[in-house]
Structure 1
Amino acid sequence: MSPSATSAPNRSSAPAAAEPAASPLRTETPSECHPDLDQYAVPDLVDAFVDDQFHALNAVKAARHRIAAAVQAAVPRIAAGGRLVYVGAGTSGRLGVLDSVELYPTFSWPKDRAIGLLAGGHQAMFEAVEGAEDSLEQGRVDLEAAKVDARDVVILLAASGATPYVLGALEAARAAGALTIGIANNPAAPVTLGAEVAITLNTGSEVISGSTRLKAGTAQKIALNTLSSAIMVRLNKVYRNLMVDLQPTNAKLLRRAVSLTMRATGAGEDAAREALAACNYQVKVAIVSILKQVDVVAAQARLDAAHGSVRAALEGLNP
């Protein structure tokens, strides 16, 4: 499949490696706001950390148009069978893995279509793997091993924007024709300059100098939540503002499935449970079955014809 027409134009090929910085990265620059942090009383210490997080939200808000561009570019590829592939190291990589694994219980998104590549592998999710992020070649190898192609969307995360592992993956993703979305916390970073869609979350210096698990990480988490959730809404995983394509994998989610069905249809609990039991707790199917007063087979057929859109299935329209 050729890249979507909504994708940003290709830029020059990804940089082979990060160039030495002429000046310290903003994320590494010591904060001038709290030079005596170690002497703060506990309430003041907590206030300093909490207050600083507002900068994370402001950084994401400033990048909202780039996030929207990423969503628009990603949806056609994902709808055509592509995958979301997250790549990162350290905190950034763990945030990518977290976003990937939460898509299945939240949206019934297939596990094999949301992949997290973390420098250092599985072990690095739980403890630091020293030096793993420094290998440009390993980034290439891991990305190529995932068999990425032109339908896939590769989200490359690096607070510095210059992590060699991520840049290696970027180079391989571009060569494979995948859509590349670069997310960094420093302006004009190699990962954003090399990606088709650049998202800069300019969070500046940290309360604890260089600790980008703080507001840089918060900004990345907000951006990922926004990006993947917006994609899922566009893929008909949400009806109104209800999470109607969840996987009820535990007692809490079973209760949530019942509650969502009741809220969407106005049905009582017994009727909601009966409809859900008949369709193996597929909330979408239960909603259409109740509101259109058809059996679950007919409800599923309506949803299939509407490409999974509950609204279109109820209105008898093509989405």
Structure 2
Amino acid sequence: MAERPTEARHPSAEGLHAVPAAEVFSRLLNAQADAVDALRPALPALEKAAEAAARALAGGGRMAYAGAGSSGLMALADCLELAGTFGIPPDRTPMLFAGGASALLHMTGAVEDDPALAETDLARAALGPGDVVICLSASGGTPYTLAVARGAKARGAQVIGIANVAGSALLDMADFPLLLDTGPEVVAGSTRMAAATAQKVALNLMSVLVGIRLGHVHDGYMVNVVADNAKLRDRAARIVAAISGQDIAVARDALEQSEGAVKPAILIARGTAPEHARAALDASGGHLAPALAATTN
């Protein structure tokens, strides 16, 4: 087990079963904080990976996710949030999860060892040139994830590999390798802890930069949000009001005219006719700042 750092003995594990709850929590929390700090040396590689993913989406390609077990869950969590947060259609961000939907209700280890499942999922996703797939594996050697990475590369897609073990097979084959060197787990081998925390934070950083590059974030606001419930409709109105400098009533009226789309509503609230607002956004590639500049009287 000691061959992989994630399986090795953590210094804080000694006597963990016998210490008070507060001490257990303190040791675990310190390990989680260390896991987040492990991202700092990886930031340059993370930037390259995010830029590649943004280029794929901007060019009409897709940004897929792939993983098994805890790593797959981290990938799935990020993938599912993209539509609501950044308005990216789900068909542009396919998810390849070992075992499929049934594995989400009852996770079993066997599916991660089955490359044939990866081939089936790859065929269904039809990845190819212009696409990017983000493959996650704490060990960097999960057979399902490696099979996805190999198959995607063979089909012409680029691979972003995220792993927590240096020199692992996934990092070796990835076009954009990203090592999150989180080391041993306090509960040896339980990579749903430090390794998964680092993966989740890395994906958060990556997807936000992708959103920024696509023009879906402006001054920290999610200006491409899909307002499909009461909470998000209220958020959209507040975003329009804040960026346009108008009151909430004007913002709501602008959203009515834009059929709920935040970016054109901001321009409309500032006095731009709806057809001119959409034309300005088309001319700016969907980026709000140049559209605002072009429509300012």
TM-score if structure 1 supplies the norm length? 0.90
Structure with bigger helix share is 2
Does 1:207 pair with 2:183?
no
Does 1:97 pair with 2:76?
yes
The 8 Å contact of residues 99 and 117 in structure 2, kept in 1 or not, is answered as no
Does 1:313 pair with 2:287?
no
Q: Paired residue for 2:279, among 290, 301, 309?
A: 301
Instruction: Mark the runs of 5 or more structure 1 residues left unpaired by the alignment.
Output: 1-20
User: 1:139-288 to 2 correspondence within 5 Å?
Assistant: 139-288=118-267
Equivalent residue of 1:267, what SS?
Answer: coil
TM-superposition CA deviations, 1:170-223 (whole Å, max 9, x none): 111110111100000010110010111100000000111110000100000000
Does 1:41 pair with 2:24?
no
| Alignment root-mean-square deviation, CA | 1.4
Equivalent residue of 2:94, what SS?
Answer: strand
AA aligned to 2:150 is E
Q: Paired residue for 2:36, among 40, 54, 57?
A: 57
User: 1:114-133 to 2 correspondence within 5 Å?
Assistant: 114-133=93-112
The 8 Å contact of residues 97 and 115 in structure 1, kept in 2 or not, is answered as no
The 8 Å contact of residues 134 and 165 in structure 1, kept in 2 or not, is answered as yes
Instruction: Mark the runs of 5 or more structure 2 residues left unpaired by the alignment.
Output: none
- Structure 2 Cα separation of the partners of residues 94 and 127 of structure 1: 13
- Structure 1 Cα separation of the partners of residues 28 and 245 of structure 2: 44
Report what 1:86 is aligned to: 65
Q: Paired residue for 1:136, among 115, 118, 125?
A: 115
**1:298 CA displacement:** 1.6
Identity %: 36
AA aligned to 2:260 is Y
Give the number of equivalent residue pairs.
295
**1:42 CA displacement:** 1.1
The 8 Å contact of residues 240 and 269 in structure 2, kept in 1 or not, is answered as no
**1:116 CA displacement:** 1.1
**1:62 CA displacement:** 1.4
- Structure 2 Cα separation of the partners of residues 43 and 80 of structure 1: 51
- Structure 1 Cα separation of the partners of residues 294 and 158 of structure 2: 34
- Structure 1 Cα separation of the partners of residues 96 and 53 of structure 2: 18
TM-score if structure 2 supplies the norm length? 0.96
**1:74 CA displacement:** 2.4
AA aligned to 2:291 is A
The 8 Å contact of residues 272 and 286 in structure 1, kept in 2 or not, is answered as yes
- TM superposition outliers: structure 1 runs of 4+ over 4 Å: none
**1:245 CA displacement:** 0.6
- Structure 2 Cα separation of the partners of residues 82 and 126 of structure 1: 31
